[in-house]
């Protein structure tokens, strides 16, 4: 193929003059060397100049492998790549290492999923950006260009950040540094591999807005890998759905979301909170597990998990040409999915319309108090100032909360707001600096001996990072047996193994995992094992710290249904810490919104998250992506500037006033916000810590995002 004619527009973006795609991939196949087992099969895609194409699918479906194989970034000693992948007519697969390096960074920029691992920990940020220019001919004024790039990606005080190391920056800043490196040479193609997975919704909105503006400003094409269908809905012109290393559906994003043809696509959408109507009060999920790469080629890989499978699915493999909705919308399915009814407002798990109460919510609200926290303050690093010690960092600055029997209380807010710290205090893992926590009307800090051991059985925690909570030297079976005995179970090992296997079944794992070690399991499997361990003790209170954040949307529903079922069966109280507002809205009875160690708004989950009254709650709602391309492209969004302030030096007055869209920066007459801290009135119907609740600017802001 001859290289197509190209021109350069005034902003530096590449324009393909003769209409050919900027990137063209044909029949890309990635196999393990020596085994012939395909990881990715027959991957084909065209990306036009200025177009954004999304790739979605569960973990292990081959999204990242396909893209890295396209760029020649896979380990050639382990994996073998065949097919063609051309950028402006230049084949990247058959190119030499030297030729590929000329493309990387200059013509193709990459934003990796984990910026902390991708950045060099021993080089300053400025040095790492300078390396890009050094690799591609230099720059006449590289120091000034580094500062320009850091400013362009929205990093405040670029002179100071240029001389910082990656570990000294927040997650959002590191992702913006990655964006600066990727866009340094104004590449024609930007690869964004899960660029917002580990970020809060507010920082995610900043990074996505940055990618969107960079692409629009330079005409850069974008290939976006994400498991978040809300992100795909708002960012992408077209979408490719991968399963078991193959494209099972592709087409314009709006068409695929409105009329999915493959049952896998439909199941992913149905399992996403906020998409479509639910016929029951259950969370949707996809039964079973994604297959290993060695699935026979003579059958549909999704057949075992598909509710619409027919006999042909087990004897033949479908191709993308089997379903042709339009020339651009195709699906590999013998029995296309039936279009679901028109979407309506989705009910919560307790089927509670705004302003009303179901019997479950009423029972939770009127039940006995299980745990009560008053005036909770937690400080770290307290030293004597007489000897030059720094003032302590106040992680929690006066938190009041109540958890009742059978109630699910959601805690939401950005990283650093104090959610995890509060959760650790509630289960007695740390002691409070000030304030009091009472469990069953007993002060937790006063418990000793048998009473303390009983409390620790009653109060369990599910950690965000599952591997850190499982003993690497123990099999899962041994871990669960220990938990069962701690919870009062007795009997021979065979009976304990049977009880452990039944618990594994409840969390979506089988008996075969009893003999597995955490090192041989995926992050999602470890998370389910950690949940099983916590439930084996039969706790009365459970603190779930981002318990489903590491799970694919396809299996999140199974865990959420489990938590809801156990709560109904046992009356357990749950504190559910999460950044996914859609899940909190549907699972929790009450919600508390935290910012910089304080609760700024609380109340019924659906009311607070559908009709927020604090500007910070409004910002969280507007930043959360919606899995609907039409809504996502036309909605108003509050993009908060910068990161949350450090708890080591919080702003005076209202701690949110430095980022508030209706604060003193936007309304100079509101100097009260910067001088006086608003209090949370727990006696109010909707406690809100804001001086100007119900004011005209606040109401106008709410109307704009709602």
Is residue 657 within 8 A of residue 673, CB to CB? The reply is yes
Q: Which of 164, 339, 146 lies closest to 255 in space, CA to CA?
A: 339
Q: What are phi and psi of 633, to 5 degrees?
A: -75, -20
Contacts of 435 (CB under 8 A, 6+ apart): 373, 374, 375, 376, 377, 398, 399
Q: Which of 101, 186, 120, 113 lies closest to 148 in space, CA to CA?
A: 186
| Residues recorded for the chain | 706
For residue 97, the SS3 value is: helix
* pLDDT for res 8: 44
* pLDDT for res 568: 86
Tokens representing 282? 């259950």
Is residue 288 within 8 A of residue 304, CB to CB? The reply is yes
Banded model confidence at residue 14, pLDDT cuts 50, 70, 90: low
* Partner residues linked to 40 by β-bridges: 30
pLDDT at 41 > cutoff 60: yes
* pLDDT for res 12: 44
* pLDDT for res 276: 61
pLDDT at 351 > cutoff 60: no
CA distance 174 to 155: 10
Domains annotated for the chain, with CATH where assigned, are: 6-236 (3.40.50.300), 262-331 (no CATH), 359-611 (3.40.50.300)
* pLDDT for res 293: 72
Find the helix or strand (DSSP H, E) in which 437 lies.
Answer: strand 434-439
* pLDDT for res 209: 85
End-to-end alpha-carbon separation of the chain, Å?
51
**Average pLDDT of the residues in 613-618:** 94
**Average pLDDT of the residues in 41-53:** 94
**Average pLDDT of the residues in 176-202:** 87
CA distance 546 to 336: 35
CA distance 684 to 693: 12
* DSSP code string of 351-390: ---TT---HHHHHHHHSPEEEEEEEEEEEES---GGGTPP
Note the pLDDT tens digit of each residue in 525-568. 888 899 899 999 989 999 999 888 777 888 888 888 888 888 88
Instruction: Sort strands 221-225 and 238-243 into parallel, antiparallel or unpaired.
Output: unpaired
Q: What are phi and psi of 34, to 5 degrees?
A: 90, -15
Q: Which stretches does DSSP call E strand in 537-666?
A: 541-545, 573-577, 590-595, 598-604
Q: What angle do CA 492, 498, 502 make, to 5 degrees?
A: 150
Average pLDDT, the chain: 86
Residue 445: Cβ-neighbour burial (10 angstroms; 0-12, 13-18, 19+): middle
pLDDT at 390 > cutoff 80: no
**Average pLDDT of the residues in 430-445:** 92
Contacts of 155 (CB under 8 A, 6+ apart): 161, 173, 176, 177, 180
* pLDDT for res 614: 95
The distance from CA 459 to its chain's CA centroid, rounded to whole angstroms, is: 26
Note the pLDDT tens digit of each residue in 308-325. 999 999 999 999 989 999
Q: What are phi and psi of 289, to 5 degrees?
A: -125, 150
CA dihedral 287, 292, 295, 301 (to 10 degrees): 30
Note the pLDDT tens digit of each residue in 236-260. 999 999 999 999 999 999 999 999 9
Is residue 662 within 8 A of residue 690, CB to CB? The reply is no
CA distance 675 to 54: 46
Banded model confidence at residue 18, pLDDT cuts 50, 70, 90: low
* pLDDT for res 647: 85
CA distance 137 to 142: 11
The distance from CA 223 to its chain's CA centroid, rounded to whole angstroms, is: 19
pLDDT at 347 > cutoff 50: no
Q: What are phi and psi of 367, to 5 degrees?
A: -75, 170
* pLDDT for res 252: 96
CA distance 537 to 164: 45
Q: CA of 688: how far to CAs of 327, 361, 374, 447, in Å?
A: 52, 21, 17, 33
pTM: 0.85
pLDDT at 404 > cutoff 50: yes
Q: Which of 229, 656, 185 lies closest to 417 in space, CA to CA?
A: 656
* pLDDT for res 549: 79
């Amino acid at each position: 193929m001859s290289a197509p004619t190209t021109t350069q527009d005034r902003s530096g973006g590449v324009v393909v003059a003769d209409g050919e795609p900027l990137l063209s991939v044909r029949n890309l196949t990635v196999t393990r060397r020596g085994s012939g087992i395909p990881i990715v099969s027959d991957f084909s895609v065209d990306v036009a100049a200025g177009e954004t194409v999304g790739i979605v699918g569960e973990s292990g479906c081959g999204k990242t492998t396909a893209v890295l194989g396209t760029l020649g970034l896979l380990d050639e000693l382990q994996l073998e790549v065949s097919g063609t992948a051309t950028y402006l007519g230049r084949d990247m697969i058959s190119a030499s290492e030297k030729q590929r390096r000329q493309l990387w960074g200059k013509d193709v920029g990459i934003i990796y999923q984990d910026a902390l691992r991708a950045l060099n920990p021993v080089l300053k940020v400025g040095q790492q950006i300078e390396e890009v220019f050094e690799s591609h001919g230099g720059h006449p004024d590289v120091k000034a260009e580094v500062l320009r790039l850091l400013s362009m990606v929205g990093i405040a005080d670029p002179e100071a950040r240029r001389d910082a190391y990656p570990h000294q920056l927040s997650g959002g800043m590191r992702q913006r540094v990655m964006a600066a490196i990727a866009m340094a040479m104004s590449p024609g193609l930007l690869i964004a591999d899960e660029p917002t997975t580990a970020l809060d919704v507010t920082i995610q909105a900043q990074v996505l807005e940055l990618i969107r503006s960079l692409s629009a400003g330079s005409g850069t094409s974008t290939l976006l890998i994400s498991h978040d269908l809300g992100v795909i809905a708002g960012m992408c012109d077209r979408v490719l759905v991968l399963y078991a290393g193959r494209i099972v559906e592709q087409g314009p994003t709006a068409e695929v979301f409105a009329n999915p043809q493959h049952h896998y696509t439909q199941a992913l959408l149905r399992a996403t909170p906020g998409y479509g109507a639910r016929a029951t009060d259950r969370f949707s999920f996809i039964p079973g597990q994604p297959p290993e790469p060695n699935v026979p080629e003579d059958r549909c890989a999704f057949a075992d998990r598909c509710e619409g499978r027919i006999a042909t699915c087990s004897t033949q493999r479908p191709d993308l040409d089997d379903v042709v909705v339009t020339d651009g919308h195709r699906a590999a399915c013998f029995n296309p999915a039936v279009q679901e009814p028109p979407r309506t407002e989705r009910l919560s798990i307790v089927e509670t319309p705004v302003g009303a109460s179901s019997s479950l919510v009423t029972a939770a609200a009127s039940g006995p108090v299980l745990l009560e926290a008053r005036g909770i303050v937690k400080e770290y690093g307290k030293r004597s100032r007489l000897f030059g010690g720094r003032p302590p960092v106040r992680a929690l600055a006066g938190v009041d909360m109540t958890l009742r029997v059978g109630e699910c209380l959601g805690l939401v807010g950005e990283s650093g707001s104090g959610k995890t710290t509060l959760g650790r205090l509630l289960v007695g893992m740390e002691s409070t600096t000030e304030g009091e926590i009472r469990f069953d009307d007993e002060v937790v800090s006063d418990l000793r001996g048998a009473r303390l051991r009983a409390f620790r059985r009653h109060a369990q925690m599910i950690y965000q990072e599952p591997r850190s909570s499982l003993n690497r030297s123990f099999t899962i079976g041994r871990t669960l047996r220990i938990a069962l005995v701690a919870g009062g179970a007795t009997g021979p090992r065979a009976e304990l193994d049977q009880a452990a296997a039944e618990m594994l079944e409840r969390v979506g794992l089988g008996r075969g995992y009893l003999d597995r070690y955490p090192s041989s399991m995926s992050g999602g499997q470890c998370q389910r094992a950690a949940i099983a361990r916590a439930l084996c003790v039969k706790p009365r209170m459970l603190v779930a710290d981002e318990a489903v954040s590491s799970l694919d949307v396809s299996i999140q529903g199974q865990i959420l249904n489990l938590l809801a079922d156990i709560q109904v069966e046992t009356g357990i109280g749950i504190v559910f810490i999460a950044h996914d507002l859609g899940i909190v809205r549907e699972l929790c009875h009450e919600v508390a919104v935290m910012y910089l160690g304080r609760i700024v708004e609380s109340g019924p989950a659906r009311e607070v998250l559908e009709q927020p009254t604090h500007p910070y709650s409004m910002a969280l709602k507007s930043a959360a992506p919606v899995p609907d391309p039409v809504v996502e492209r036309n909605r108003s969004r509050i993009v908060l500037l910068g990161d949350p302030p450090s708890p080591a030096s919080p702003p005076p007055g209202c701690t949110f006033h430095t980022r508030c869209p209706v604060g003193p920066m936007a309304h100079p007459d509101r100097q009260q916000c910067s001088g006086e801290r608003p209090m949370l009135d727990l006696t109010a119907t909707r406690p809100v810590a804001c001086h100007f609740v119900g004011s005209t600017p606040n109401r106008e802001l709410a109307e704009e995002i709602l």
